[in-house]
Amino acid sequence: VGPILDRHGPRMVSFWGIFFLSVGLGAMTFVTHLWQLYLFFGVGRMIAVGVLSLATAVSVSNWFVRFRGRAMGITKIGERLGSALLPMLVQFVILALGWRLAWGALGAVVFLTSGIPALLFLRHRPEDMGLLPDGALPASEIRGAADPSTKEKVADVSGDDSEPVWTRAQATRTKAFWVLTLLYSLIPFGQAGINFHLYPFLTDQGLSETTAVLILSTFAAFGMAGSAIWGTLTERFRIQNLLAINIAGNGLIFLLLYWAVQFKFGGDSGTGIIFFLAALHGIFHGGRNPMLPVIWADFFGRRSLGSISGLANPFYFTANAIGPIFAGLCFDLLGNYAFPFYFFVAVFIVSGVITLRMRPPKYSAKAAVG
């Protein structure tokens, strides 16, 4: 999908991706065998995660440069809002009409709220419409402008030689590409392993199901705030430093959360510290989501972003699948989550150190032409 996004933009890719996702969701209405579940839900999930997530990241990166982190953070807030609101809608329909019609309703809602707007409003790059990223004005329009605020809108990049123009072949020959790909394997391995097993860990430690759900809801709610906070910070600070602090800090915060639950900090009834740490965990976790796609665009530019970052996605999704399986196997063998959770914390800290030492690829227009 990456090369198609680079050549033709996200409009039709997103529309058809959402269309087939909606069809898969709607087809769940007619499921009677297990293989049908795997086909309809599995293919739909693959499209949603593999195609639409890349299309969204590339689209935002193409339209924003100076405010890329902020825009990506707002986008991730939208994703989390959907994750929070749609289950409630589906549950309401299930209670009223049953689970089969709920799948059909979900497919219709996804298509109407996402597919149609994608077809109507998405465009490839602002330059295709005579515009510049971030709403900046061309230099020719601001020369001699009397209003100082107008002069501030001139583009810092976009259309000049300051933005790198890497091809996929050139990017794969850089150390930075493979370091980012390594991080794209390590981070989701630990992230998914923790997320999938946090609820059973909480209930295994004696917390009620209601309390466990509230803790996860706190984590998700503060994740939305984290997306906006960390995304905006990328406009002020070096993104490698921010990402390193975020990754390593998230590992340490989760370690404290694990200890607070495992060793009952604050006594048997003292869950306040657990909710506090869950909120911090959400802020750091949510903040990482916009920074990862931003760093690809900052390192390799917009021209071949889909092709370049898309190469790392198979590593990301493979690690995302292995992490929960690893934690589950460890629990089955050892009877607790101590080893996998400590291992995930170590993965986060190592990833933070790697990120801190990472450097952008050295780009020169002469080398690119050669």
Distance of CA 339 to the CA centre of its chain: 27
| pLDDT confidence band for 143 (50 / 70 / 90) | low
Do residues 221 and 283 both lie within one domain?
A: yes
Residue 158 forms part of a structural domain: no
| Overall domain count for the chain | 2
pLDDT, position 268: 56
Same domain, 89 and 199: no
Lowest average pLDDT, out of 181-185, 217-221, 251-255, goes to 217-221
**Contact in structure between 294 and 239 (CB atoms under 8 Å):** yes
Contacts of 80 (CB under 8 A, 6+ apart): 220, 223, 224, 227, 286
* Burial label, 252 (beta-carbon count in 10 A; 0-12, 13-18, 19+): middle
For the ranges 15-29, 39-53, 77-91, the one whose mean pLDDT is highest: 15-29
Q: What is the pLDDT of residue 266?
A: 59
Does the predicted TM-score (pTM) go above 0.85?
Answer: no
Mean of the pLDDT values across residues 207-221?
A: 88
Q: What is the CATH number of the domain that holds 346?
A: 1.20.1250.20
Tell me which residue range forms the domain holding 340. 168-361
**Local confidence band at 139 (pLDDT 50, 70, 90 cut-offs):** low
In a domain, 233, yes or no: yes
- pLDDT, average across residues 89-103: 88
- The answer for residues whose C-beta is within 8 angstroms of residue 257's C-beta and 6 or more apart is 274, 277, 278, 281
pLDDT confidence of residue 255: 96
